[in-house]
Amino acid sequence: MAATNDDAPSAAAPHPELQLASLSTELARQRVDLMRLSRRDAPELTLGVRQDVPGRAEASRGSLVLGLRLPFGTDDRNRSLEAMALSELDVAQTQELRLRERVDSDIAAARDALRLAMVQLDAETARGRLLRERAMLLDKSFRAGETPLPDLLRALTAAAQADSAAARQTAALGLARARLQQTLGRLP
């Protein structure tokens, strides 16, 4: 049996874990770019209301407070932030690479398991066919009086067991296909 086309990875639907890792790497890359573009803290504008109550006989005074803070710090202040962003990028890229390797090896293992299940199904089907043919020949021989009943019953039992083994192997093939689909990131 040949593998069907539905076990080939499609470019339209990449693995969900790989998508998440790619997004994490892109986010870390954007943080590094942001750190390189803005090496200083942003200016701050503060606005406040102040009310002074001096004493009993005097009226209270209200005032509006406006503050502007312009950071004049050097790049040395933000080196630690830039180093942290670079380390996050390195970690994200490493995790994405390791995840990609793991997913690729899982897909290869699932494809090998599918091929093995197909080969085993072919072998079980051939075995069942041969044992049924043997049982049919022993039945003819039994009817002619040349074979004892226990030999015929053993042959019929072996043929029935081979048929059930082929049915189990068909189920195992379906499971292998489902596992491959799941490994590819699709629901079976």
pLDDT tens-digit series, residues 71-98:
766 667 677 888 888 999 999 999 999 9
Distance of CA 45 to the CA centre of its chain: 46
The dihedral formed by the CA atoms of 25, 31, 37 and 39, expressed in degrees to the nearest 10: -140
Lowest mean pLDDT among 4-8, 72-76, 123-127, 131-135: 4-8
DSSP state of 70: -
pLDDT: which is higher, 42 or 6:
42
* pLDDT exceeds 60 at position 158: yes
More confidently predicted of 184 and 68? 184
Q: In the predicted model, is pLDDT for residue 8 greater than 60?
A: no
3-class SS of residue 69: strand
With helix as H, strand as E and coil as C, how does 15-57 read?
CHHHHHHHHHHHHHHHHHHHHHHCCCCCCEEEEEEEEECCCCC
Which of 4-18, 23-37, 86-100, 116-130 has the weakest average pLDDT? 4-18
pTM of the model: 0.66
Residue type, 116: L
pLDDT in tens, 35-75: 888 766 677 888 888 877 777 777 777 888 888 887 766 66
- Tell me the domains of the chain and their CATH numbers: 14-50+63-183 (1.20.1600.10)
Q: How far is CA 177 from the centre of its chain?
A: 16
